[in-house]
Amino acid sequence: MIYRVVNEDRMQQVRDLWDYCFEKKDDPFFQYYFEEYCGKNNMVIGAFEKVGDWERLRSMVHINPYMLRLRGREELTPYLVGVATAPEARGQHAFGPLLKTTFEVLRSQNFSFVTLMPIFAGIYLPYEFSYCYYRHAYQMPLTSLSFTMGDDGLQVEREPLRQEILAPLYARLTAAWNGVPVRTDFQWNKLLTVHGLEQVQCAVVYRQQQAVGYMLYKVAEERFTIIELLAENFAVRTRLLGYAAMHQSSAKKLYWLAEPWDKTYLGFKDQALTGSVQPFMMARCIDARIALAKLAAPQDLPEDSVVLLLTDKLIDRNNHLLKLKTAPGSLEAVSTLDAEEVTMDMGAFTQLYMGAFSAAELWEAGRLKAAVPEKLALLDKLFPKCRTYNNEYF
User: What span, in angstroms and rounded, lies between the C-alpha atoms of 103 and 110?
Assistant: 10
Query: Maximum distance among all alpha carbons in the chain?
Result: 74
Per-residue pLDDT of 323-355, as tens digits, reads 999 999 999 999 999 999 999 999 999 999 999
What confidence category does residue 148 fall into, taking pLDDT thresholds of 50, 70 and 90?
low
Backbone angles phi, psi at 150, to 5 degrees: -90, 180
In our burial notation (b when 16+ CB lie closer than 10 A, e otherwise), range 111-129 reads: bbbbbbbbeeeeebeebbb
Share of the chain above pLDDT 90, in %: 94
The whole-angstrom separation of Cα 341 and Cα 346 is 16
| Structure confidence at residue 149 (pLDDT) | 66
Strands (E), the chain: 2-5, 43-51, 54-70, 73-85, 113-116, 130-141, 154-159, 180-181, 201-207, 210-220, 223-231, 253-258, 276-285, 304-311, 320-327, 330-335, 342-345, 368-370
Asked whether the beta carbons of 173 and 220 are under 8 A apart, the reply is no
pLDDT at 94: 84
Rounded Cα gap, residues 346 and 112, in angstroms:
12
Full set of structural domains in the chain with CATH = 2-116 (3.40.630.30), 136-280 (3.40.630.30), 287-382 (3.30.1050.10)
DSSP states of 195-220: HHHTT-EEEEEEETTEEEEEEEEEEE
Nearest to 65 by CA among 75, 73, 77: 77
Express each pLDDT in 58-77 by its tens digit: 999 999 999 999 999 999 99
Contact 333, 292 (CB under 8 A): yes
Bridge partners (DSSP) listed for residue 77: 66
Report helix angle 163-173 to 185-197, nearest 10: 120
- Euclidean distance between CA atoms 218 and 241, whole angstroms: 13
pTM of the model: 0.94
What torsion, rounded to 10 degrees, do the Cα atoms 382, 387, 391, 394 define? 10
pLDDT higher at 53 or 39: 39
